[in-house]
Structure 1
């Protein structure tokens, strides 16, 4: 059992939304991330398990990368500058080459996703 909290810019938040399963979390984040300045998902122990800020998933990082990958794949017009802004908005620190095309962006995101998953499994 999980709870979704939608915050307004002044810090007030709406009553918690009940989220039944882990499978529903990503859909909730995607549906709410651009409607509210901040969204948090907590578990039944009130630990934050996912968070968005200003339209970007920022925690956990592998979910942020998975969300970016979905958006890159859905967008027919890849824009390298937008890609960089999305990385920064999701608090993903990356100092390597910047993908010039969609194929390179997908490869980079898949690599980052694998690294974050490995990190979470080890941590």
Structure 2
């Protein structure tokens, strides 16, 4: 018998605010009983559950674990970067290359790093007919 991941847990100063951000980014939903000021908040989205918990200390160093996200089919990495920036993320390090490869490192509203990478369509070479 093996274990499975129940949720990815993120320490935060304001769980509800951070959960609202991530629900928007990932197209997820908050639990029905989550409200501003709660000590925890849960986001359920396709393929993952994120749990945000209140901790007293602020973030001071780089994450040891982070999420890599990609744009939905029909969109692009660059469009997704623009979209999450409008939701409240900030650009920390742009590692996109002129050949179209690479990624961007962003911070969520509490400074947690995450990356936006190319989606499957952008990673698949195109062949002219």
Say yes or no: TM over 0.5: no
- Greater radius of gyration (CA): 2
Structure that is richer in helix per residue: 1
